[in-house]
Structure 1
Amino acid sequence: MLSRMADTAKTKPSPATKSAKPRPEVRFRMRIRSGDAVALGPGKVELLEAVREYGSISAAARSLGMSYRRAWLLIDELNRSLKTPATHSEQGGQSGGGCTLTPVGERIIHLYRNVEDEAQRSCAKQIAELTRLIRS
């Protein structure tokens, strides 16, 4: 769920098709820039999905193989880029703190993934033509 590369490009071959050539991988990597910063992009959306799944920035960071500091900086940059924050963090303590998505964070994931899906569907013919040109 967290890694959303093009569904058509990332499939495990069955034993009968192991000798078949692997298909090229197609990924859409939309970014929304605000000045010099990437306000929103695939890494931040994947991080939001991990925060939603794990309930904390540190657990989300571990699941994605990144440092807590890097994840925190990405979340902070995202929240500062938005009119309303995408996450809500609670301090540690007896309950251990945590991080949850706000309705804005949920909406970002939904909209971003819809753009990816729509781009994949809308460009399927051109993608097929391009991938046929790739040596595999």
Structure 2
Amino acid sequence: MTTHHSDHSQTPRLRVLLGEVTAMGPGKAMLLEAIRDKGSISAAARSIGMSYRRAWDLVETMNQSFRQPMVETAKGGPGGGGANVTEFGERVLARYREMEARATAAIQTDLEDFSRFLVDTENAD
């Protein structure tokens, strides 16, 4: 018998659109945090299981979608390249995470109720 879903870790996936482009979403936020932690786009991509090409495309999209760059890069060479999240990027990321937390809190009861429709992953086998 299947019971209600006991894991209440369901969270909304907040996406901020600019026209048809996602200016900021969960993947971009995770990538920004990884760039901040790792200091490069390639290391950040590896750490979150994303291809370098995909990570680079997301960084370009963010840099084109916002009024100021979100990520600055340095060319490679003997000392290696690198990337860092700009102060502006940090402000945008913090605001996004705040919005995400407020959205989750606002619908927490609904998420718990909705979880009753889902398969209980502990008893799914």
What TM-score comes out, normalization by structure 2 length?
A: 0.83
Identity %: 41
- Pair 1:80-2:53 in alignment: no
Unaligned runs of 5+ residues in structure 2 are 121-125
1:40-92 Cα distance to aligned partner (Å, 9 max, x none): 11111111010001000000011111211111111001101111000111111
In the alignment, which residue of structure 2 is the partner of 1:52? 36
In the alignment, which residue of structure 1 is the partner of 2:123? none
Decide which of 81, 87, 94 is 1:103's aligned counterpart: 87
Offset of residue 24 of structure 1: 4.9
Unaligned runs of 5+ residues in structure 1 are 1-20
Relative to total residues, which structure has the larger helix share, 1 or 2? 2
- Pair 1:122-2:106 in alignment: yes
Residues 86, 101 of structure 1: 8 Å contact kept: yes
- Which gives a bigger RCO, structure 1 or 2 (Cα 8 Å, sep 6+)? 2
CA distance in 2, matches of 1:88, 1:66: 19
How many residue pairs were aligned?
116
CA distance in 1, matches of 2:73, 2:109: 43
Residues 8, 112 of structure 2: 8 Å contact kept: no
Q: Which runs of 4+ in 1 moved over 2 A?
A: 132-135
Decide which of 50, 67, 74 is 1:66's aligned counterpart: 50
SS of 1:129 mapped into structure 2: helix
What TM-score comes out, normalization by structure 1 length?
A: 0.77
Further displaced range: 34-43 or 74-83 = 34-43
In the alignment, which residue of structure 2 is the partner of 1:11? none
Residues 45, 108 of structure 1: 8 Å contact kept: no
